[in-house]
Chains A and B, each alone.
Chain A
Amino acid sequence: MATLRLAQLTKTFPGGANAVDRIDLDVADGELLVLVGPSGCGKSTTMRLVAGLERPTAGTIAIGDRDVTALRPQDRDIAMVFQSYALYPHKTVRDNLAFGLRMRGVGKDDIATKVADAARILELEPLLDRKPRALSGGQRQRVALGRAIVRSPQIFLLDEPLSNLDARLRVQTRTELARLQRRLGATMLYVTHDQEEAMTLGDRVAVMRAGKIEQLAPPLDLYRHPATTFVAGFVGSPAMNLLACTIADGVARAGTLAIPVAAPPGPAILGVRPPDLDLVAVDRGDTRGRIDVIEALGRELLCHIHLDDATPDLRVLAPADADLDEGDVVGIALRRDRLHLFGEDGRGVMTPPR
């Protein structure tokens, strides 16, 4: 296992756009670092650069203390799990697992031992002589994972490895993957577009947008102290409410909402997460609105509340047993110690105290 260091890594595709734009990133030995962002943010390109499947336009990649920027993928000692799994369809599971070892000239007996070990860890033993087309989605995913761990590489790269599984299997496999990663002490770079996956799996999470890392932090720090409105809106579900407001005389105003804040005057963006809002009697609270839609999430109700035509609807979480109906007019109170404030440029000005 080893560390991974990206310095000023840049990839410009023909046509102009910077898919990856001067990224600096350090992954510690044994860390699982997640790259998360919407599609087109450059996370997959970053991973392909690390794998060596794309050549960087500028910048360097180092694994351990070895600069691998100019090395071919074959010489980097990395393993990659593809979103599509990319299992060799004409080879059995056993041959799929053995392929990487065979290509690296490992001896026959050694291969047999390592394949057997990997198969045991991933419970693939009964499937070894099958072809991929005779496997279920979950089994294919495990073979793809097995093909990576059998080689004990320096770095694991996982490109949306769970996105082809159905929801239940995805959550289950996520847990197994986290367990496996700790057990192997593996250094992993993990790409996903799913913020929940990123939050639950990552030791640290890098939120990417337009080829840049918007914020890099442990999951809870991202949630509690988002550096930008983009991170604030991307991390956490249901998403944070973001309201354009104007601050004057220590009061932030957005439509009918007025709330005191300690910030310099001028235009700003007020952020407050759905669980940090409380529904109260109409004449109390910081503002009022009409419940437009109620979605029952199970443990809670997600209410979409219409304030006025100029302000986007607020998302508020209420207890499941609350006596609410669509069309009700309610008061809304903001928890003062849970407010986020961002400047007009989307950069954070104030987050809740640590």
Chain B
Amino acid sequence: MSRTGAVRLAAAVALLVAIALPLVFALLASFAPERELYRGHGLAPSELTTAHYRTLFTERDFWTPVRNSLVVAAATTFLCVAIASACAYALARLRFRGRRLVLGAMLAVSMFPQISIVGPLYLLLREVGLIDTYPGLVLPYLTFALPLAVWLLVGYFRQLPSDLEDAAIVDGASRLRVLWEIVLPLAAPGIATTAILTFVYCWNEFLFALSFTTTHERQTVPVAVALFRGQFQVPWGQILAATIISTLPVLVLVAAFQRRILGGLTAGSVK
């Protein structure tokens, strides 16, 4: 191995350790008895226990926030990808007046700090009776997820060889058929990436979820975990266990889509 290779490897390992260490610590600590958490025994607990996980699902009813998070994130992701695909295709391929303006405005809108629109959104949602409902979270999430998704997908769609779309059009396909039969299958890696980013964003979102839900019945995982703190104690073991559980769907998603993201689907179409 060359010297620069060795340096690079060392840097990569260091980065990996820096990122993974807190997670590893959380994983180990989530299986440690509560009393050991405050003693500073180093990383390895002296005994392992699943007590935190059991408490989570028996006393805390943690299934409800997990279900809520899954429903909200999945619904947002589905709607977001569907709407963003159509928007992005139009912006990527059709020539119309104001196209750049639309793209620019979308980027600008997504730059607003969330905190600045929580108040107005709350009033709006209360007015239409959507506080503490799934749509009451999905709709605000879309306002943030859509611009990013559109931008990502415009980039992916532009990379596709336009000959393919021209060929499909000459073959008699309408624009929507072209999108459905040609563009979407070929942009699958881009769609998957967009979907994962959207899902993770919704899964992790805290501020809106805290502001627009009022009961345990509709709280998402981050909100539920934040509300674990009692007046006199912080149940760190349970919080860590909840953290580990909430990491799982994201891990599964990335693992499942990794191949697609890397796949070179367009090989063989042109040249």
Q: B-contacting residues of A (Cβ < 8 Å)?
A: 51-53, 72-74, 78-80, 82-90, 99-100, 103-104, 131-135, 137, 140, 147, 151, 164
A78 to B170, CA, bound (A): 7
Nearest chain B residue, comparing its CB with the CB of A80? B170
4 A-B pairs with the lowest CB-CB distances in the bound complex, closest first: A133-B268, A89-B269, A103-B172, A100-B171
A6 to B172, CA, bound (A): 22
* A89 and B173 contacting across the interface, CB-CB below 8 Å: no
A74 to B178, CA, bound (A): 12
Nearest chain B residue, comparing its CB with the CB of A48? B166
Q: A86-B269, A103-B171 are in contact. List 9 more A-B contacts (CB 8 A).
A: A51-B166, A86-B166, A87-B270, A88-B182, A103-B173, A103-B177, A104-B172, A147-B171, A164-B271
Find chain A residues with CB under 8 A from B181 CB: 88, 99
B34: min CB distance to chain A, Å: 54
* A133 and B267 contacting across the interface, CB-CB below 8 Å: yes
Question: Would you list which residues of chain B between 165 and 186 have a CB under 8 Å from chain A?
Answer: 166-174, 177, 181-182, 185-186
Size category, B interface: 20 to 34
6 contacts between A and B (CB under 8 A): A79-B170, A82-B163, A84-B161, A86-B270, A103-B177, A133-B268
B12 close to chain A: CB less than 8 A: no
| B 226-259 to A, binary, CB cutoff 8 A, 1 in contact else 0 | 0000000000000000000000000000000000
* A90 and B185 contacting across the interface, CB-CB below 8 Å: yes
Task: Given A74-B174, A84-B161, A90-B185, verify A53-B267 contact (CB < 8 Å).
Answer: no
B94: min CB distance to chain A, Å: 13
Task: Given A86-B161, A89-B265, A90-B185, verify A73-B271 contact (CB < 8 Å).
Answer: no
Q: Which of A80, A88, A89, A151 contacts B267 (CB 8 A)?
A: A89
* B271 and A135 contacting across the interface, CB-CB below 8 Å: no
A276: min CB distance to chain B, Å: 40
B266 close to chain A: CB less than 8 A: yes
Find chain B residues with CB under 8 A from A104 CB: 172
A184 to B164, CA, bound (A): 26
A74 to B172, CA, bound (A): 4
Max count, chain A CB within 10 A of own CB: residue among B172, B182, B186, B265: B172
A221: min CB distance to chain B, Å: 32
* A80 and B173 contacting across the interface, CB-CB below 8 Å: no
